[in-house]
Amino acid sequence: MKTKRKSTALIRVFPVLLLSLFLLSPTAYADIGPKPEVTITVINAPEGALYLDLLAEGEASKAPYPNSLDECDSAILDNLRSLEGNGWVLAYTTGVSNRPPVFGDVRPKEDGSWRFSYVGLPETFRVAAATADEAKAVEAPYTRDFVSHIVYDWQANTVREAMPAPLRFLARLAATLIPTLLIEGIIFWLFGFRDRRSWIVFLAVNVATQLALHLVTGAALSMAGWHFLNYFLTIILQELVIWAVEAVVFARLIQEHDRYQRVGCAVLANIASFVLGYFPLHLLYDFLRSL
């Protein structure tokens, strides 16, 4: 009977994993996953056209830079370039030597914000902006997260976070915790877990591991840098630890079914939630970039 029950549970969860892999497959060919990104909203903006870029430390790129500026106003670009110097280079307009390019535009998007991304995005930068008559650059450098949203005040020439750090942390926690609970909860149910004690353990361990994941990720990347490879390695290593912790907790604290079924459920549920939740992070980008 035990063998039959385990086989039935695996048959039930197989379509879920198949769907997970299917959704993952388009991203596997897409330039190695998510990239760092910063969104900038300007307040107290001047009248007329405003161009914005990021000043990064380094030397100007000597090779022809791939970003096209053909349709931009040359006078405003000249004002923007006048902010370069003393070891600071415009990351998008000029490009930093020996660094990958930055994607974006010195002109605002349709929603009025500016967005810069890709692996060449500087970790620390100063916001620079210019009109046809004036150019300004924030004095204090800003250090971004993997996905950041900041507000630039043109009149005060200052930068601040779009959302206070505690609220941003809670919002990002909810962005991963809720999908994780939904995905793993479905698999937990498919494996036949019905007891109240089992669900309390399930909820407690998932909240604890998700909270630890966000805290450790932020601390680790603050020390190692917000490079996308560091991001992936940090996430993957922590996921492996989470899989092991949840497998041990399920095996010891849940009393329903046999130990093999409890451990199998923990492993399969985490694989599904990782594929559907963390790996294709672009699915959460519209939410994360707004924080």
- When the pLDDT of each residue in the chain is averaged and rounded to a whole number, the result is 80
The full 3-state SS of the chain, as one line of letters, equals: CHHHHHHHHHHHHHHHHHHHHHHHHHHHCCCCCCCCEEEEEEECCCCCCCEEEEEEECCECCCCCCCCCCCCCHHHHHHHHCCCECCEEECCCCCECCCCCCECCCCCCCCCCEEEECCCCCCEEEEEEECCCCEEECCCCEECCCEEEEEEECCCCEEEECCCHHHHHHHHHHHHHHHHHHHHHHHHHHCCCCCHHHHHHHHHHHHHHHHHHHHHHHHHHHHHCCCHHHHHHHHHHHHHHHHHHHHHHHHHHCCCCCHHHHHHHHHHHHHHHHHHHHCCHHHHHHHHCCC
pLDDT at 39: 94
* pTM higher than the cut 0.85: no
Whether the pLDDT of residue 26 is over 50: the answer is no
pLDDT band with cut points at 50, 70 and 90 for residue 239:
confident
Whether the pLDDT of residue 105 is over 90: the answer is yes
Fold assignment, 37-161: Immunoglobulin-like (2.60.40)
Q: For residue 250, which of 192, 189, 211, 198 has the smallest C-alpha distance?
A: 198
Angstrom distance (rounded) from CA 249 to CA 246: 5
Whether the pLDDT of residue 278 is over 70: the answer is no
What does each C-alpha distance from 289 to 38, 82, 163, 254 come to in angstroms? 7, 30, 11, 38
End-to-end CA distance of the chain: 51
Whether the pLDDT of residue 174 is over 80: the answer is yes
State the Cα torsion 40-44-48-53 to the nearest 10°.
-30
pLDDT at 238: 75
pLDDT band with cut points at 50, 70 and 90 for residue 218:
low
- Residues 232, 233, 235, 236, CA torsion sign: positive
Mean pLDDT of 75-104: 92
- Beta strands 37-43; 147-153: pairing state: parallel
Q: Where are the domains of the chain?
A: 2-30+165-288, 37-161
pLDDT band with cut points at 50, 70 and 90 for residue 101:
confident
pLDDT at 3: 46
Q: What is the pLDDT of residues 261-275, one digit of tens each?
A: 999 899 888 888 877
pLDDT band with cut points at 50, 70 and 90 for residue 219:
low
Mean pLDDT of 177-202: 92
pLDDT at 29: 35
The lowest-confidence range among 14-18, 161-165, 209-213, 221-225 is: 14-18
